Amino acid sequence: FDVGPLRCSLSRIQDGWWRYSNDPAGGAPSFDFHPDVDDEALLEGGCNFLQSDPASPFVQNAVVQRWRDGAHFSLRGRVLTKLTDAGKESELIPDAPAYVEALWDVFGLNLPEAAALWPRILARHEEVVQSQTEGSD
């Protein structure tokens, strides 16, 4: 099925389990679930990990996403991406004022205090770029 510019699928895999497969341009590649598994403690543990564990990508990175006008917008660290049926466009946010401006203009978030995150966002960006460079050698 299509969700705007993203192509996703839902398929049965085995023993009542299902797999959601995300578009390669999306976030997580896939996840499996079973409609009869409703372990609240397991769900709570997963939520706690994503929200507070230092290894969580949502703790390591500032992430904002939004659908608007048939396009998917994401801001991951200092990379702003717009995904449409025509393709993918990305731009590097240059500084803290532009970061705060993008939060408002693209996502409707009035968060001037987010400028204080900029040094950590820059440091994380450099860390990710360096690890990608080292991985390609």
Whether CATH 1.25.40.10 fits 60-136: no
**Mapped to the 3 state alphabet, what secondary structure does 10-59 carry?**
EEECCCCCEEEECCCCCCCCEEEECCCCCCHHHHHHHHHHHHHCCCCHHH
Q: pTM of the entire structure?
A: 0.75
For residue range 1-19, list pLDDT tens digits in order.
666 677 788 999 999 999 9
- Give the model's confidence band at 113: pLDDT under 50 very low, under 70 low, under 90 confident, else very high: very high
pLDDT value of residue 122 = 97
Q: Tell whether the model's pLDDT for residue 116 goes beyond 70.
A: yes
**pLDDT, mean of residues 90-118:** 98
Which residue ranges make up each domain of the chain? 60-136
